Amino acid sequence: MKDFQSLTNFQLDALREMGNIGAGNAATALSELIGERVDMGVPHIDVRHFSEVPEIVGGSESFVASIYIKISGSAPGEILLLFPVEDAKQLLCILLKEHSILSRQTFDPLESSALMEVGNILAGSFLNALATITSLKYIPSVPGFCADMAGAILGAVLHDVGIMGDHVLYIKTDLHFQATKHVGGYLFFLPEAESLETILNTLGVSG
Amino acid sequence: MGEVLKVGIAELKVAKAPVNLSSAGLGSCVGICLYDPRARIGGLAHIMLPDSNQARNSVNKAKFADTAVPVLVSEMLKLGAVKERIIAKIAGGAQMFVFPGASDFMRIGERNVDATKKALAVEKIPLAAQDTGGNYGRTIELCTTTGKLYIRTIEHGERYI
């Protein structure tokens, strides 16, 4: 595979379906953790130039909390979870039952650790679903946490796929919590170019 | 507010006063600002990787420190800059995520800064100022009238270099 841009619609559909099942699994896991209903949107799959990616999450300078997990194994890649800061704070309120969280912009160690655990659960269940569908082995790293400008975070994550080309393939899912408040977030699944080929082969839609 | 050209990730642009150049959300990426104070011509490259030789696809010169600097210089010369007058200011190169047992891969910010300095040395461009490292993102704007580089962060203040 030369570049992500050469993917056919049929292949994109197969990946979208895979993302759908993975994200469904992740939403169920999160729902069990917080004891509330979690809805997810239809996964969006796209190939974009690097410079366009920050716009997807509200611009380079938008303040977001992120959990980053590297995937090793037979199909290496990355998972990045992004929550706008207000949404991350709302989520922490639900998790920690502590309302003073909302009055601060920063994240203390307990809060960042709680969010990393959320990342762990979401990524783990997402990858479990992928492993079942593709019969490949995905090994998640320990999560990393960072709250900062979306562009800065994406740049730090995208450089790994940047060695291959100028475009990135991502599967993005919106997660919504059906509590009294609305909480939204994004799950990015970023396979490396060679992993993508491996995944497409196991799905039976190789080019 | 004058006109500001935005330079996205893995892009580079040049401008003449009063048009300023800015890059939002530099993390491990480095913003390389070149400036000719007499001609008031500036250039900004938002690089994300240190070395084009390690990449399989190195068509986009603005993505790598080693290839972005010479392209930026030649674009500035086209606008009327004089190479001997060009100075550099750089910002970025942070380490956004900290993992236990961080590998080479995670030190990308530091490697980007080192490669940028090397590329500037090759072109014999003096480094006038730098604001690099740390674990936070930066938004920068190069004022092409004064040569000042404005740096804004979320929790680490703002400054001019």
Where in chain A are the domains? 4-202
Give the range with max mean pLDDT: A45-54, A82-91, A100-109, A193-202: A82-91
Min Cα–Cα distance to chain B from A168, Å: 13
pLDDT at site B33? 97
Which residue(s) pair with B44 in the sheet? B13, B33
Average pLDDT, chain A: 83
pLDDT at site A181? 63
pLDDT at site B128? 97
**Mean pLDDT value of segment A41-61:** 82
Higher-confidence residue: B149 or A126?
B149
Dist CA A132 CA A29 (whole Å): 16
The pLDDT confidence band at residue B105, using thresholds 50, 70 and 90, is low
Taking the mean position of all CA atoms in its chain, how far away is CA B130? 10
Dist CA A30 CA B29 (whole Å): 33
Q: What tokens does A187 get?
A: 């799950």
Strands A167-177 and A44-49: antiparallel
pLDDT at site A63? 92
pLDDT at site A178? 63
Q: Is domain B4-160 annotated with CATH 3.30.1330.200?
A: yes
The catalytic site residues of B sit at 29
Inter-chain residue contact A149 with B55, CB threshold 8 Å: no
Inter-chain residue contact A53 with B100, CB threshold 8 Å: no
The pLDDT tens digits of the residues spanning B17-72 come to 999 999 999 999 999 999 999 999 999 999 999 998 877 666 789 999 999 999 99
Q: Which CATH class is domain A4-202?
A: alpha beta
**Mean pLDDT value of segment A61-78:** 91
pLDDT at site A3? 64
Q: What tokens does A73 get?
A: 């194994």
**Mean pLDDT value of segment B94-123:** 84
Dist CA A88 CA A94 (whole Å): 10
- In A, which residues are within 8 Å of B9 by CB distance? 50-51, 53-54, 151, 154-155, 158
Structural domain boundaries in chain B: 4-160
The candidate with the shortest Cα–Cα distance to B154, out of B137, B132, B135, B131, is B137
**Mean pLDDT value of segment B91-115:** 81
pLDDT at site B16? 96
Count the neighbouring beta carbons within 10 Å of the beta carbon of residue A3. Answer: 14
- Cα dist. A79→A64, A190, B6, B71 in Å? 15, 6, 28, 34
The candidate with the shortest Cα–Cα distance to B144, out of B36, B45, B70, is B36
CB A53 within 8 Å of CB A44: no
Query: Could you tell me which chain B residue has the CA closest to the CA of A160?
Result: B105
Residue A151 is nearest to which of B9, B55, B63, comparing CB atoms? Answer: B9
Supply the pTM of this predicted model. Answer: 0.87
With b meaning 16 or more CB within 10 Å and e meaning fewer, what string describes B38-77? ebbbbbbbbbbbbbbeebebbebbbbbbbbbbebbbebbb
pLDDT at site A189? 85
Which residue(s) pair with B151 in the sheet? B140, B159
What lies within 8 Å, CB to CB, of A126 at 6+ separation is A22, A23, A25, A26, A79, A187, A189
Q: Of A13-17, B6-10, B83-87, B122-126, which range is least confident?
A: A13-17
What value of ipTM does the predicted structure carry?
A: 0.86
pLDDT at site A153? 92
Residue B37 contacts A where some CB pair is shorter than 8 Å: no
- In B, which residues are within 8 Å of A145 by CB distance? 97
The sign of the torsion formed by the CA atoms of A4, A5, A10, A15 equals: positive
Checking if the pLDDT of B4 tops 90, the result is yes
pLDDT at site A190? 85
Q: What tokens does A143 get?
A: 């999560």
**Mean pLDDT value of segment B90-94:** 96
With b meaning 16 or more CB within 10 Å and e meaning fewer, what string describes B104-140? eebebbbbbbbbbbebbeeeebeeeebbbeeebbbbb
Cis before A191? omega within 30: no
Q: Of A101-105, A132-136, B94-98, which range is least confident?
A: A101-105
The pLDDT confidence band at residue A166, using thresholds 50, 70 and 90, is confident
- Cα dist. A107→A62, A101, B5 in Å? 16, 8, 33
Dist CA A73 CA A17 (whole Å): 22
